[in-house]
Structure 1
Amino acid sequence: MRYRSKAAARGSPAWMTTFADLMAVLVVFFVMLYTMSTIDNERYQKLAESLRQVLGPSVVQEDTPQAAPTVVDLEGPAPTPEQEVHDDLPPADPEHTDTAEILEALQEALAEELAAGDVELGEGEDGVLLRFPEQAAFALGSKEISEPFVPVLDRVAGVLADTPGLIRVSGHTDDIPIRSDRFRSNFELSTARAISVVHILKDAGITPERLIAQGHGETRPLAPNETPEQRARNRRVDVHLVDAAD
């Protein structure tokens, strides 16, 4: 007759039974997750609640799975065909396309101002050039266009609205540093003046996409800044009609 030892008679420890049951539950849980292609939020919450009751609140987190972050589009959504902006947006059927025609139309519209010296007109390196001296269009050190000069810009806009090409508005000052709480430098003053002219042209009917505002401060003088007359000539706003047809 064979006798079993006392250790064999006792069998496995009692905790092994509980541990084996827990392992079986976990195996079933992971097999279920593997076989499910997707888990919607409602099913996830029900499953989490069931596991929380069996395994304790620390096993299952409350948060639902989060979607992966997407790449940020720094350029924004693509414009629709109606919103696309082109480099050169002339009117559909411009009335004035030749440089000589444009100059003639501006001469007729600004005959009085040209005779008085309040406006200068000619051809620049890149197209038609209009020049407005400070004394005609602005108060000293101000960006606000004088009221009598607004109708002049309206007439300019009336001609340029019927032409092709971009319109570049450039502000210029003399070399005396500005002393103003409103402007930190001549660059700010010249840019602010160019923007003021751009707003008048836009409000008078020029397509905004054709307008460019620039400020050059004292960096592009027409004459040496040695006398009050020379400095007055350097304080100006230039309007270039760029790439006008020859």
Structure 2
Amino acid sequence: MAQPVKTAARAAESKLHNKQKEQQVETAGMMRWLLTYADMITLMLALFIILFAMSTISRVKVQAFAKSVSGGFNNVWSINQPPNGGSNGQQSFGANANIPTLQRELQRYVQKNQLQHQVQIRVKRHNLVVTLLSDQSFYNSGSARLRPQTLKILDTVAGFLKKTANPIRVEGNTDNVPIRTVRYPSNWELSTARAVNVVRYLVEQDGIEPTRIAAAGYGKFHPRVSNATAAGRKENRRVDIVILNRNDIPQPTARTDRFIRATKKPAPHPSIKPTGKS
């Protein structure tokens, strides 16, 4: 009787032991799965930390890029800022005047004073261009000396230029008729002298900031129309006052800078006899 009891007890103990071992094996398997899961979670956490760090760096880079771009476009007109009323019948546009508004005001001035055949206002490549057609009303043939009619118009144009902070480039142009004089050996010199004289007057007489204005002479090489007719040549003889919409004004050369600063008032040019009309 005792032997069967011992056998049954031993069997029960063995069964319990086996069950405990099975539970241990099962628990160990579950632990291995948990370790794998924990490793995966750790790796994902590390990945998200890296992605967050990269996104932060990218944001900083983007902010730096945006700052550099905005710095390069400090003088771009704002199309959202409305003009304020000004004096002398003109509107005050502030430092961020927009091109369409300024264009309308200049066109209104041209029409009011019936200057359509002498002054043209247009937009070219987002820049506002005020064209002085260089016929006898602005310059004598073969001369760069500004005539009184020109000075009056420049004084008015300067009033508009002062209401912007945009850089300005004054461009001299001629037709294709050659000129050979002591003062102007070619149309290069004549076109440059005309542009420089306009710059000098705007700076020295009208108070335009010299750091935002420059002169350029293009000779016969930037015609608006064909030079085949007298009317075409007349249209190509011009000075363009270009109000730039970005800060790409070229630095003046030492020679041009000395020429502009040489005198406080524009010096009259001596009479010359040109060989051609430019």
TM-score range, shorter chain: 0.5 to 0.7
Cα distance in 2 for partners of 1:221, 1:106 equals 23
**CA offsets, 1:126-175, max 9 Å, x none?**
41111011113111110001112201100000011111211000000111
State the partner residue of 2:222.
Answer: 220
Cα distance in 1 for partners of 2:134, 2:124 equals 19
Cα distance in 2 for partners of 1:118, 1:221 equals 17
> What displacement does 1:204 show?
0.5
Contact 1:131 1:239 in 2 (8 A): yes
> What displacement does 1:201 show?
1.3
Aligned residue identity for 2:123: E
State the partner residue of 2:274.
Answer: none
> What displacement does 1:119 show?
0.2
**CA offsets, 1:82-118, max 9 Å, x none?**
xxxx99789xx92661112211232343334554411
- Secondary structure at 1:123's aligned position in 2? strand
State the partner residue of 2:145.
Answer: 144
- Secondary structure at 2:155's aligned position in 1? helix
Structure with the bigger percentage of helix: 2
Q: Which is worse superposed, 199-208 or 183-192?
A: 199-208
Q: How does 1:124-139 map to 2 (within 5 A)?
A: 124-135=124-135, 136-139=137-140
Cα distance in 2 for partners of 1:193, 1:139 equals 11
Contact 1:102 1:163 in 2 (8 A): no
What runs of 5+ residues in structure 1 fail to find an aligned partner? 1-85
Q: Which is worse superposed, 103-112 or 228-237?
A: 103-112
- Do structure 1's residue 230 and structure 2's residue 232 form an aligned pair? yes
Cα distance in 2 for partners of 1:115, 1:240 equals 18
**CA offsets, 1:155-197, max 9 Å, x none?**
0000111112110000001111103221111000000000011
Provide the TM-score with structure 1 as the length reference. 0.59
Cα distance in 1 for partners of 2:106, 2:151 equals 16
Cα distance in 2 for partners of 1:218, 1:113 equals 30
Contact 2:75 2:96 in 1 (8 A): no
Cα distance in 2 for partners of 1:116, 1:99 equals 19
Cα distance in 2 for partners of 1:108, 1:204 equals 21
Aligned residue identity for 2:121: L
Cα distance in 2 for partners of 1:207, 1:116 equals 28
Provide the TM-score with structure 2 as the length reference. 0.52
With over 3 angstroms needed to count, the CA separation of the structure-2 counterparts of 1:198 and 1:88, relative to structure 1, is farther
- Secondary structure at 1:110's aligned position in 2? helix
Q: How many residues are aligned here? A: 158
Identity rate of aligned residues, in percent?
32
**Aligned-residue CA RMSD (Å):** 2.5
- Secondary structure at 2:94's aligned position in 1? coil
State the partner residue of 1:181.
Answer: 182
What runs of 5+ residues in structure 2 fail to find an aligned partner? 1-71, 77-92, 247-278
Cα distance in 2 for partners of 1:127, 1:232 equals 23
> What displacement does 1:205 show?
1.9
With over 3 angstroms needed to count, the CA separation of the structure-2 counterparts of 1:88 and 1:189, relative to structure 1, is farther
Aligned residue identity for 2:175: D
Cα distance in 1 for partners of 2:195, 2:178 equals 18
Contact 1:89 1:207 in 2 (8 A): no
Aligned residue identity for 2:234: A
**CA offsets, 1:16-62, max 9 Å, x none?**
xxxxxxxxxxxxxxxxxxxxxxxxxxxxxxxxxxxxxxxxxxxxxxx
Query: Which stretches of structure 1, 4 residues or more, deviate above 6 A after TM superposition?
Result: 86-90
